[in-house]
Structure formats: C-alpha cells, structure tokens
Structure 1
C-alpha cells in the first residue's frame, strides 16, 4: 500500500481533536482529586515519571472519546436546527447536489450518504490533499465542540464552589460561548470548503473534456472549405 503524507496528517488531526479536550478534562479532574490520584500514582514509584505520563496520556485519550461522544449530540440538537438560520447562503450545497445528480445519477441517495459526506469521500479518493484541508477544519470544529462541553460543566462545578470567585465562573461561560461560535464557524468552513473543491474540480474536468471538441469545431470553422468532414477515409 502506498504511503501518503495526507493520510498520516488526517489521522494526527483526528488524534489531537480527541487528545486536547481529553487532556484539559484530565487536568481539571486532577485539580479536584490531587490526593487520590497522587496515591494511585505512587503505585509506580520506581518509575513514577513514566507511569504518570502513561496515565495522563491514557486518561486524556479515554476522556477525549467520552467528551467527543457527549458533544456529538450538539450536531443534532444545536447545529443542524440552527445552521439554516445562522448561515443564509446555500449556493454551494445546491450546486454540489446538481453536479451529483447530473454527472453521477441517483445511485446513492441522500438517505445513504448526504452531500457533505459524498463530497468528502470523493475528495479522499481523488484529491487527498484537499480532503486533508477539509478534515483539518472538521477537527478544529470537534475540538471547540468538546471544549464547549468542558467549559459548561466546569462553569457549573465552580458555580457551586463557595471559594471560587465569580470571575472564574464568568470566564468559564465566556469561553463556552466563544467555543460555540468557533464550533459553528469551523464546521461551516469544513462543509463549504468541501463543496467548493467539488465545484472547482468538476468545472475544471468538464472544461478539459470539452476542449478537444471546441478545438475540432474551431479548425473546421477556420478551414471549412478545405476539410471535408463527410468524406470517408481511403
């Protein structure tokens, strides 16, 4: 199998989309449970640094998946119902649907795969570098989606801590609001970039297909008195 740098890049982007929110959650949990966690880490006292690093990495990865699963509900509960109200321009998705119907028929209906997934699958197969850019925007949106969940939970936890100042609680909710805005914008950027690549590449390919025909017609029109296009070859 051929190695493609874009494949590694996409996997790294997905990894960081899981690890970064998980690492933030792990550090928050450690802040509230230092004594218990330090007691657990003493099990590996012969090589505590390595054991602590392994626990942090494993905990970040596990918590990242839990946060990703919880935050995924925001797609159905928040983004999908509000995207048409927040973003008014739908020219790109309509054009992609038109290209899909005209050039490829209706073998794969939206019931099985929607326009965005179809665009990503096509880019991954034919233009992996373009797919890597789309995946980067999507990974950014997943990071901010997870960060929103963390900040909301942390805000309510701090809200009921009498020793925590109101400024910290306010900062958590402001970061949550910022994360939601960035989540919307990055997810929109991901879908629009995928559609724009499909439109551009399809238009480019159609012009390449039409070019020989246009060249032949130009030659015939320029020298139609000398070329007999109806004559049979000898």
Structure 2
C-alpha cells in the first residue's frame, strides 16, 4: 500500500517540475522547437509521438527550471533572517536543541535541523510528514512558477510585446510571496511537529545517534 510520503513525492514531481516545464515547453516550442529537434517537433508522425515529445521536453525543462529556482532559496534565506529571524524561543531553536541532545556532535554536520526533522517525521509520524510535504510541494511549485514568469517576461520583451511582459513580471510578485509563505510555514511546521512528538512520546526512546 502506498505511503503518504510516496504520494507527495509524486505531487512534488508534478507541480514543481512537470507542470512548470509544460508551461515553458508551450512557450518555447513554437519559438525554438524546430531549431532543437527539427522536423520531429514541427511535424510529429502521430499524435502519440507529439504528446510523448511534449512530455519529455516538459520534464527536461521542468528540471532545469527547478534547478534555477533552487538559487532563489538564497534570497529567501536572506529575507527570512531579516524579517522572520529565529529567536531563542522559536520552534527552530527548540527542534535544534532536541536534535543536538539526540545526535552525536560528529554527526550533526551531516544534516541540518530541517533535514533531521523531516527524517524524524517520516520515521515516527507519516501523517505529520504528509502535512510538511504538502506545504513543501506548494512552495516549490510557486518557486518554479516564479522562474516561468521571468522566462515569459524575457521572451515577450525580445518580441517587443511589453504589455504581456509587464503582466508576467507583475504575476511574479504574488508567486514569490506565496513561495515565501509556504516555505516558511513548511519549515516551521516541521519543527513544531518534532517538538510536539518529543513532548508526547519522548523521541530519545526511539531515535538518536548515541
């Protein structure tokens, strides 16, 4: 029987990779497709071949968009440290103290608090992991969509279509806002779940590094 974590990996692939890749393929296909694949993409031999090529291109471009989007995380980290700093009483600090009490110092560099929290939730409470994965999938979808908006703006500007380019840039703002909110909530929610599990069950009885 599929586990919730398996399901949300598929959701992440679809919303953060395949769907933004499909949008990018639809935009780039008519413009650069014939240069890349020649007559294959211009006149596919059948509808099934056309769809297969479209999905392959969408998956490939989706991964490139996902990679570019990962660079946005640095900007997110800078903004979070300025506007949502982790204080001494934050969920992050509480989860970090729990991790440090259960993991040997020599092993703490192997994973940060968020990675450790996700691993704990997968092992101890799949329902909580499902909650975090849903928020994480949302954040990565809007992160990829932000890259797509930037790509659309560049294409429209290159074609001299400044009004659609402006619309694309305006749409990038709510995409970033939603990405920021979902990412912050996913990390915070993971820490809250870990702290709650530690108080209810005592994580040291089931996990730890030494």
TM-score range, shorter chain: 0.7 to 0.9
Structure 1 residues 107, 125: closer, same or farther in 2, change over 3 A? Answer: farther
1:12 aligned onto 2:20: no
Which residue in the other structure is 1:82 paired with?
Answer: 79
1:192 aligned onto 2:192: no
Distance (whole Å) between structure 2 residues aligned to residue 43 and residue 158 of structure 1 = 25
Distance (whole Å) between structure 2 residues aligned to residue 23 and residue 142 of structure 1 = 15
Moved over 4 A (4+): 33-38
Cα distance, 1:86 vs structure 2: 2.4
TM-score by length of 1: 0.77
Q: Structure 1, unaligned stretches of length 5 or more?
A: 210-234
Q: Deviations over 1:48-72 (max 9, x none)?
A: 1111111111111111111111111
Distance (whole Å) between structure 2 residues aligned to residue 4 and residue 107 of structure 1 = 35
Cα distance, 1:39 vs structure 2: 3.4
Which residue in the other structure is 1:149 paired with?
Answer: 147
Cα distance, 1:11 vs structure 2: 2.1
Distance (whole Å) between structure 1 residues aligned to residue 106 and residue 172 of structure 2 = 42
- Which structure: larger Rg? 1
Distance (whole Å) between structure 2 residues aligned to residue 181 and residue 188 of structure 1 = 11
Structure 1 residues 58, 179: closer, same or farther in 2, change over 3 A? Answer: same
Cα distance, 1:8 vs structure 2: 2.7
Cα distance, 1:20 vs structure 2: 1.0
**Residues matched between the structures, number:** 200
Q: Which has the higher contact order (CA 8 A, sep 6+)?
A: 2
Cα distance, 1:160 vs structure 2: 3.0
Q: Structure 2, unaligned stretches of length 5 or more?
A: 206-210
Which residue in the other structure is 2:107 paired with?
Answer: 108
Tell me whether 7-16 or 195-204 shows the greater mean CA deviation.
7-16
Which residue in the other structure is 1:55 paired with?
Answer: 53
Which residue in the other structure is 1:159 paired with?
Answer: 157
Partners of 1:13 and 1:135 within 8 A in 2: no
Partners of 1:137 and 1:190 within 8 A in 2: yes
Which residue in the other structure is 1:21 paired with?
Answer: 20
Partners of 2:92 and 2:113 within 8 A in 1: yes
Cα distance, 1:167 vs structure 2: 2.6
